[in-house]
Amino acid sequence: MNILSQHRSLELHRAAEFIRLHSMEAIGSCGAGHVGGVLSIAELTALLYQEVLRYDPKYPEDPARDRVVLSKGHCGPALYAALALAGFFPMEELLTLNQNGSSLPSHCNMHKTPGIDIGTGSLGQGASLAAGMALGLKKRSSASRVFLILGDGECNEGQVWEAVLFAAHQQLDNLIAYVDVNKQQLDGYTEDICSLGDLRSKFESFGWRAIQADGHNIDELHNATQEILRETGRPGIVIMDTVKGKGWSGVDGKPGVHHVPISSEQLEEARKEITHRIESLTAQLEGIHD
Amino acid sequence: MGKDIRQVYTDTLLELAQTDDTICVLESDLMMATGTKAFKEAYPDRFFDVGVAEANMVGIASGLSSEGKIPFAASFGTFASRRTFDQFFLSANYARLNVKLVGTDPGITAQFNGGTHMPFEDVGMMRLIPDLVIIEPCDTVSCAALVRLAAKHQGSVYIRLHRKGSQTLYDERQQFELGRGQVLRDGTDVTLIASGFVMVPEALKAADLLKEEGIRAAVLDMHTIKPLDEELVLSFAQKTGAVVTCENHQVTGGLGGAVAELLGEQLPTLMGRIGSQDKFGQVGTLDYLLEAYQLRAEDIAEKARRILAKNS
Ligand SMILES: Cc1ncc(C[n+]2csc(CCOP(=O)(O)OP(=O)(O)O)c2C)c(N)n1
């Protein structure tokens, strides 16, 4: 089993903090954004773009690349930060988020942003898109894989479950999904709005391999990912236990943090907290020889 | 600062609910956006947040309606229309039920939510549903009045609801009727027919611009797009001989389409349509989007000038 070294794990944790920092800078530059759900997928996007995915940032349309479908498309800023760090476009561009004529709209658009494989923003649709892409890749014997990122609130949409049934029926083992169980949606806690019950057993009963993991623990996420990628004959999902707004005390685990305005003072506060963690991770990394 | 339009919507529902216990509210995880939390707090047993599941919401609203309730169900206009169309068409309308579907953030007012959230087609889709009533209030006064009328109307209604921001164009005592447009300004040279929070003021501004050039423009607030106030449109088309429709929507299918169909059949009149010209939405500030889709008063005035030049 491919287990991350302690050094690599720390590096990836640091990459996640960079994604947090740059997402907050971008959201701060336009004054408001989907902070809660952006911060909860920092570890996942770091792991995917720094460790797992196959891509060439200089050739974003490479047919041999792995595909990413951020079905919770309102969390574009996290993906943009991951893409910029991976070299798809200059870091400075992140600060054009949502500006007039920007190539970085709040919701992902493949025709605007290099590295975005498919447009999303209407919740639920990414699930079917990912299933269709996985099917299409299989039909042309491609080795590329599809990585689908769902929100927990998004799992209210019937379309998600239609796609889940289909993917199992078609034995799409080139499809791996992640559901960001940050326990909140727009109007409040998922449990108070339309209880999702036991997601793991739901996916299992729909014919998927399902693994629970701490979505803020790179090693757990990595191991779960590797296990699912080895799976044959069925799709798999990592049920990520996460915290909405993770990593900035202004929103971390608080209610009502779905879409929030960010003042320059708040941005400065977030910047301080995250930079502090980056420095401490760097110090730890310097103490370890890989 | 006046009340946000969305607050007028919720306050009106609260007022209606006091005397009518069949009024209920449905949301699909956008209560915080629509602003109906006060209704949930006042009437928790008549408020249902179904989660992110718009089609399900409209089906549930239809079921509630068949049991005698008057449901007001809301989402962003894109999802209220596109994601629920078959449910709204069949479960609510073909079944002749009484569902009030609310689509918020019309056209460019979706602003920073961008192309996925910017409805330029909802009215066009809704116009295809037989007997459906479609309204788009332009201010606080007409919003309260039209929501009351929608509740009273026996049958389904689509309400295109502006969400954030306030403006009051009408006197509090103004009376409204579904299917009867309002004459905001009389004129003899050209008729500007507008709907909604963004375009009615732009049309009024355009009339001011034209006035400076000696062109007398009439301005109609067509708050009910379906059924269209045919009598009013025909009489003004007759009187002025030139018409410009102004909508925060595609020029096909909506207000411009409705007026063009009517005039084409009954009173061919030179006309122009202001609205999105077969384009998708995008992110941006309101000013930027007004310009990008050519919805500004200057664009309306220019369209009017061109038509008048053709007419002469
Ligand atoms: C079809 C659709 N309905 C409504 C919305 C508006 N919306 C955006 S995010 C959101 C809540 C999503 O909750 P969740 O999936 O848990 O996202 P997260 O907490 O990870 O941000 C809603 C209702 C949308 N984008 N698409």
Q: Residue B233 burial (CB < 10 Å; 0-12/13-18/19+)? A: buried
Same domain, B307 and B209: yes
Inter-chain touch A106–B114, beta carbons under 8 Å:
yes
The answer to whether position B241 is within a domain reads yes
The answer to whether position B168 is within a domain reads no
Same domain, B241 and B293: yes
A173 has a chain B CB within 8 A of its CB: no
Using a CB-CB cut-off of 8 Å, the residues of chain B touching A261 are none
Which residue out of A194, A196, A259, A260 would a mutagenesis test of the B interface target, given it has the greatest number of B Cβ atoms within 10 Å? Answer: A194
Same domain, B21 and B147: yes
The answer to whether position B172 is within a domain reads no
User: What's the pLDDT score for residue A147?
Assistant: 99
What is the number of helices (H) and of strands (E) in chain B? 13, 12
The CATH number of the domain where B44 resides is what? Answer: 3.40.50.970
Same domain, B42 and B86: yes
Instruction: Report which of A61, A60, A57 is spatially closest to residue A87, judged by C-alpha positions.
Output: A57
Q: How many domains does chain B have?
A: 2
Same domain, B217 and B139: no
Which of B161, B196, B229 represents a domain boundary (last residue)? B161
The answer to whether position B177 is within a domain reads no
Instruction: For residue B250, give both structure tokens.
Output: 């595609």
- Tell me the mean pLDDT per 10 residues along chain B, length 312: 94 98 98 98 98 98 98 98 98 98 98 97 98 98 98 98 97 97 98 98 98 98 98 98 98 98 98 98 98 98 96 78
Among all chains, which residue has been given the structure tokens 């007022």?
B15
Which residue out of A34, A72, A103, A122 would a mutagenesis test of the B interface target, given it has the greatest number of B Cβ atoms within 10 Å? Answer: A122
Same domain, B266 and B300: yes
The answer to whether position B37 is within a domain reads yes
Which of B161, B196, B211 represents a domain boundary (last residue)? B161
Same domain, B156 and B13: yes
Q: Is A188 in the pocket of ligand 1 (CB under 6 A)?
A: no
Using a CB-CB cut-off of 8 Å, the residues of chain A touching B31 are 186-187
Instruction: Report which of A234, A105, A152, A11 is spatially closest to residue B51, judged by C-alpha positions.
Output: A152
Instruction: For residue A265, give both structure tokens.
Output: 């003072």
The CATH number of the domain where B294 resides is what? Answer: 3.40.50.920
The answer to whether position B55 is within a domain reads yes
B40 has a chain A CB within 8 A of its CB: no
User: What's the pLDDT score for residue A188?
Assistant: 98
A9 has a chain B CB within 8 A of its CB: no
Same domain, B14 and B148: yes
Same domain, B145 and B199: no
Same domain, B186 and B142: no
Domain that holds residue B80: 5-161
The answer to whether position B80 is within a domain reads yes
Inter-chain touch B51–A193, beta carbons under 8 Å:
yes
Using a CB-CB cut-off of 8 Å, the residues of chain B touching A153 are 29, 51-52
- The chain A residue lying nearest B31, using CA atoms, is A187
- Tell me the mean pLDDT per 10 residues along chain A, length 290: 90 98 98 98 98 98 98 98 98 97 96 97 98 98 98 98 98 98 98 98 98 98 98 98 98 97 98 98 89
Same domain, B199 and B142: no
Instruction: Report which of A272, A290, A280, A284 is spatially closest to residue A25, judged by C-alpha positions.
Output: A272
Inter-chain touch B112–A107, beta carbons under 8 Å:
no
Distance from CA of B133 to the nearest CA of A (A): 26
Measured CA to CA in angstroms, residue A67 lies from A25, A145, A232, B290 at distances of 26, 6, 18, 35
pLDDT digits (tens, 9 = 90+) for B85-125: 999 999 999 999 999 999 999 999 999 999 999 999 999 99
Task: Report the alpha-carbon distance of residue B136 to residue B158 in Å, rounded.
Answer: 9
Which of B161, B196, B213 represents a domain boundary (last residue)? B161
A125 has a chain B CB within 8 A of its CB: no
Distance from CA of A50 to the nearest CA of B (A): 29
Same domain, B281 and B190: yes
pLDDT digits (tens, 9 = 90+) for B23-61: 999 999 999 999 999 999 999 999 999 999 999 999 999
Q: Tell me which H or E stretch contains A178.
A: strand A175-181
The answer to whether position B114 is within a domain reads yes
